[in-house]
Amino acid sequence: MDSQVRKYGYARTESEDQGMGVRKGPWTIDEDSLLAQYITIHGEGHWNTAARRAGLNRTGKSCRLRWLNYLRPNVRRGNLTLEEQLLILQLHSRLGNRWSKIAQQLPGRTDNEIKNYWRTRVQKQAKQLKCDVNSKQFRDTMRCVWIPQLSEKIRAESESHMDQLTTSPPSYCSSQIDIPVAASESGSDLFDPNFIPDISVSSALSDALDAQASPWSDLTDYQNPPCGQYYSDSMQNGSGSCPENDSGSWGWGWCQDGVDMQAMEQEGYGFIGGGESLESLWNEEN
DNA sequence: AATGTATTCAACCGCCAAGGT
DNA sequence: CACCTTGGCGGTTGAATACAT
């Protein structure tokens, strides 16, 4: 009995025991092996056929899901990096719950994983803040505060590493992080130069936010090295300003005219600065 | 140590679109 | 044109695990 079966406490469904229907529930190591062997030889696709010919008493859908989310080579497991989290926030602000599209920009990550992240982490934040995750209030905060602050955190971390490594550039800038080249090479509109965010911020807002204490300032337990290249490239190409620009916080480029941040605060946007709740968004696993 | 509660994430479900007959 | 099969996607569930009391 493998660990997965143990985890869920059962090895087969009632219907299977009765000799009818297909297996459901957790996959066994043997099933994984059968499916992986079959796909290695015959390739992906034709999932119903694969299920039958591999000797799996599973639906094609189940086989496909198991392959894509778990067995497929290059599936990245483990915690999402800060960069990945930032990218998810950015992409979600543009694409909404189109998890597969978002996942395409995060090599090795599955739509299921990203969806789970959003539901367990981001929606939790919204819930704690007592606002709907789809509300304008929450989206404004995401775009005008959280995303810029997270990117600033990444930038600051990058600079910190650069200071420490004076003899050569940090290796993570070119190799340790998977650069989602698909966004730029596939003609994706990920960073559409014509994209105009539906919210914006005034210069007064920028001043007000610049005056805020950074919620990251006392955070030192970063474990995920940053990589400014992708963000720099994509931002220069698109909607935001560059992380290296004069303002030092490219994310503000997403927020131009129109949002009265003081009014936001007065109207219950008291969480715009982030605070402990926001920190927990990306610090629980970092 | 025991119990209750919250969180995580693998897997399933239902719907839809595309393609074939 | 209608029907069927298949693949893909987003939403939801539920067991295991982590954490709090």
Give the pLDDT score at A152.
84
Measured CA to CA, the distance from residue A229 to residue A269 in angstroms comes to: 33
Task: Give distance CA A215 / C1' C3 (Å).
Answer: 59
Ranges for all domains in chain A classified under CATH 1.10.10.60: 3-71
- Return left, alpha or beta for A165; rule: phi > 0 is left, psi -120 to 50 is alpha, else beta: beta
Give the pLDDT score at A280.
57
| Strand C lies under 7 A from the Cβ of residue A7 | yes
Give the pLDDT score at A122.
83
Distance of CA A214 to the CA centre of its chain: 22
Which residues of chain A have a pLDDT value below 50? 1-19, 167-260, 268-276, 284-286
Superfamily of domain A3-71: Homeodomain-like (1.10.10.60)
Quick check: A118 and A182 in contact, CB under 8 A? Answer: no
Q: DSSP assignment of A128-188, as one string?
A: HTTS-TTSHHHHHHIIIIIHHHHHHHHHHHHHHHHHH--SS--GGGTTTSPP-THHHHS--
Q: Which nucleotide lies at the shortest CA–C1' distance from A63?
A: B11
Cβ contacts of A91 within 8 Å, gap of 6 or more: A101, A102, A105, A190
| Strand B lies under 7 A from the Cβ of residue A26 | yes
| Strand B lies under 7 A from the Cβ of residue A113 | yes
Q: Share the mean pLDDT of chain A.
A: 62
Give the pLDDT score at A35.
92
Give the pLDDT score at A235.
37
Quick check: A147 and A278 in contact, CB under 8 A? Answer: no
Give the pLDDT score at A281.
61
Measured CA to CA, the distance from residue A236 to residue A280 in angstroms comes to: 30
